[in-house]
């Protein structure tokens, strides 16, 4: 019957941009946030590529990308993402910054997933990033799955293998730099992807043109979502500052330099 795969992922500022936190009427925000170029969240991108690869090998499979963000930013992101993999977009118009409340985001995403025509929740593979470049709380995808009644959840997934009997073998990261191999009898299941095993697909203009024919109407139909900070009060927010201490020393041997670096690392770790 094919797979029914929903990938949750949204926009984040391009990692090459310099970010500055400012106060706004809604709370902390990024300076000139609407002017910053955006990309699909890297962890969500891994989930999308893995989902597209899984669906490509099984006839009748479908992939949806459910994305919450400002409509203009979603359109900007889709100009690139649409050429990477085949999917159907379900857009939700709302803020997508790192200060939004993950409970409210999960509510909006779960509602959008329920409205997908023809989606059978009992056959759903719900995918997304294990973490996020905007907020590494690892909570949003889990709550979306819980709201949809999906109890089998795997976080930190690096590989998913479909078996002939309909079950799935999941390679999942655990503590101590190790992996755990699990077997799930079948969908529904939640998969929070880490880096996966696939590289970024090359741009395919034909895929992009086919996707954009449905993406533009989907953006126009995007419903607004009341997503905010959830009443959270931030006392202070900022971007981690770089620290650099430079000292120029002449006539030192490599062994002495190495010894001093090791001592400095030990002191910094205490």
- Ordered domains of the chain (ranges, CATH): 4-224 (3.40.50.620)
Question: Is the pLDDT confidence value at 269 over 80?
Answer: no
The pLDDT value recorded for residue 113 is 94
Q: What is the pLDDT of residues 1-30, one digit of tens each?
A: 789 999 998 888 877 777 777 777 666 777
Q: What is the pLDDT of residues 150-176, one digit of tens each?
A: 999 999 999 999 898 889 999 998 887
55-64, 85-94, 201-210, 242-251: least confidently modelled range: 242-251
Question: Is the pLDDT confidence value at 76 over 90?
Answer: no
Q: What is the pLDDT of residues 113-139, one digit of tens each?
A: 999 998 989 889 999 988 887 766 678
| Helix %, strand %, coil % of the chain (to 5) | 35, 25, 40
The pLDDT value recorded for residue 242 is 67
* Cα 240 from chain centroid (whole Å): 21
Q: Answer yes or no: are the C-beta atoms of 47 and 11 closer than 8 Å.
A: no
Length of the chain: 270
């Amino acid at each position: 019957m094919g797979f029914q795969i929903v990938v949750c992922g949204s926009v984040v500022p391009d990692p090459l941009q310099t970010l500055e936190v400012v106060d706004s009427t809604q709370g902390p925000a990024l300076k000139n946030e609407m002017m910053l170029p955006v990309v699909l969240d890297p962890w969500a991108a891994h989930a999308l590529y893995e989902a597209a690869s899984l669906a490509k090998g099984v006839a009748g499979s479908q992939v949806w990308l459910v994305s919450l963000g400002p409509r203009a930013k979603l359109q900007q992101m889709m100009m690139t993402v649409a050429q990477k993999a085949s999917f159907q977009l379900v857009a939700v118009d709302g803020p997508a910054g790192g200060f939004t409340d993950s409970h409210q985001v999960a509510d909006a995403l779960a509602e959008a997933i329920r409205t997908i025509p023809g989606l059978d929740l009992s056959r759903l593979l719900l995918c997304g990033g294990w973490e996020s470049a905007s907020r590494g709380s690892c909570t949003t995808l889990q709550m979306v799955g819980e709201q949809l009644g999906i109890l089998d959840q795997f976080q930190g997934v690096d590989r998913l293998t479909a078996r002939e009997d309909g079950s799935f073998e999941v390679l999942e990261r655990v503590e101590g730099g190790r992996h755990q191999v699990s077997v799930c009898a079948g969908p529904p299941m939640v998969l929070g992807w880490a880096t996966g095993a696939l590289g970024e697909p090359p741009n395919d203009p034909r895929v992009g043109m086919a996707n954009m024919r449905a993406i533009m109407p989907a953006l126009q139909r995007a419903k607004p979502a009341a997503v905010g900070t959830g009443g959270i009060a931030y006392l202070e927010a900022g971007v981690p500052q770089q620290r650099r201490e430079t000292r120029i020393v002449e006539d030192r041997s490599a062994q002495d330099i190495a010894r001093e670096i090791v001592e400095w690392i030990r002191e910094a770790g205490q």
